[in-house]
Amino acid sequence: MQFVNLKHAQDRVDFATAVQRGLGLDRGLYFPAAIEPLADVPGLLALPFVERSARLLAQLTGLSLDLTGALVEQAFDFPIEQREVADSVHALELFHGPSLAFKDFGARFMAACLAEFSRDQPTTILTATSGDTGAAVAHAFHGKAGVRAVILYPEGRISPLQEKLFCTLGENVHTVAVAADFDHCQALVKDAFEDEVLRTRIGLNSANSINVARLLAQVCYYFESVARLQGQAPVFCVPSGNFGNVTACGIARALGLPMKRILAATNVNDTVPRYLADGHWAPEATVATVTNAMDISRPNNFPRVEALARRAGMPISDYLHAVAVSDENTLDALRALDASGYLADPHSALGWQALQGQLAPGEQGVFLCTAHPAKFAEVIEEALSRSVPLPPPLAAVRDKTVLSARIPADYSALLAELG
């Protein structure tokens, strides 16, 4: 399988190279050169999750089935749950991994790939996070020999517990609080990638959702969801920030996974819903919301959604709808879900809210639960006036010291941190 740089069609590489480079020439994103519909989708749906995922990833990456089998076994070592929370409405819980968010799928598969592909070279993983990526990447690389992980995040804009979950690990995990918003953190990472000297010296590699390994890993849980619906085609509702998860869902569709359509749900950082409505790409300043992992107004992965439309002959308007949800409606949704007996984190509640009124009679809806409720305990406690019990991974870090460095949003400050 070849991967093509979306900014330079002649920059074509194999999967291992795309994963190691992270970004191509001129910050171009890599994307599969061709996505062919699978021959036997029902046969695949009948397989257990890990075996099916190994086959999907062998097809998507061009690696051998033996190798993807070994990588997937390391990476997907935690369960997925799908619960019917109301008639025909299903919660796809992707937060049962070590960092309690769906990003564990992509981060752990990518870490397994990088450890495999860069055995003898020094490697620095540099990534920007609006919260959950950092935790997933930190846990995925923590203790991996020969790899250092450097994680930037916007100071004061992620929840205190979220910070504890990934900024207290130490060893080969170095966290940096930047006095700016997520878009600035992301810009610093991009600057570092353009710095050829630095790149070679420290073996720079990216680990946010722009790395194609993460994206491909996420295709697997959409198949699991449909398998659990006995092959019925659902409407998928995806709480979205950087639009990696929506891209993965679109790839699943291009591979032939039965689904009615995709509903991308954003908070008031609604660049994509506005774009789909009026055709103008007009990002505004990023606003802080109760769904802070989605406080992104320049979604990095959107060019891949458009590339998929061109390459797989899937016009966006045929399958992708987008809805923006206010904080007020997200909190109301959280309360309504809780009253019906289901405790959701704010991002998942936003997804449920966006699905309301969108299902035709007889349709099944699946909303992605992207984080464990306890990860956003502060918001939930305020909305419900009661405390949320901490699951073991969070209870274990609650009283630990945050080890992060603090820098201004300035490239020379980042260079000093990278050493």
Q: Which is nearer to ligand PLP, 63 or 215 (CB)?
A: 215
Neighbouring CB atoms inside 10 A of 311's CB total 17
Minimum CB separation from ligand PLP for residue 370, in Å?
3
Q: Report the distance separating Cα 299 and Cα 404, nearest Å.
A: 26
Q: Which is nearer to ligand PLP, 176 or 296 (CB)?
A: 296
Neighbouring CB atoms inside 10 A of 411's CB total 12
Minimum CB separation from ligand PLP for residue 28, in Å?
19
Q: Which is nearer to ligand PLP, 251 or 293 (CB)?
A: 293
Q: Which is nearer to ligand PLP, 55 or 214 (CB)?
A: 214
Q: Work out whether strand 81-86 and strand 89-93 pair parallel, antiparallel, or are unpaired.
A: antiparallel
Q: Which is nearer to ligand PLP, 15 or 376 (CB)?
A: 376
Q: Which is nearer to ligand PLP, 16 or 262 (CB)?
A: 262
What residue number has its CB nearest to ligand PLP?
Answer: 132
Q: 353 CB contacts (<8 Å, ≥6 apart)?
A: 265, 325, 329, 330, 332, 333
382 is written with which tokens?
Answer: 């305020």
Q: Report the distance separating Cα 86 and Cα 342, nearest Å.
A: 10
- Type of residue found at 45: L
Minimum CB separation from ligand PLP for residue 45, in Å?
24
Minimum CB separation from ligand PLP for residue 251, in Å?
13
Q: Report the distance separating Cα 179 and Cα 209, nearest Å.
A: 22
Minimum CB separation from ligand PLP for residue 242, in Å?
3
In order, the DSSP letters of 327-353 are HHHHHHHHHHHHHTT----HHHHHHHH
Minimum CB separation from ligand PLP for residue 378, in Å?
14
User: H-helix or E-strand containing 31?
Assistant: strand 30-32
Which 3 state secondary structure label does DSSP give 66?
helix
Minimum CB separation from ligand PLP for residue 100, in Å?
9
Output DSSP code: residue 410: -
Q: Which is nearer to ligand PLP, 75 or 344 (CB)?
A: 344
Contacts with ligand PLP by CB under 6 A lie at: 101, 103, 131-132, 209, 239-245, 293-294, 347, 370-371
**What radius of gyration, in Å, describes the C-alpha atoms of the chain?**
20
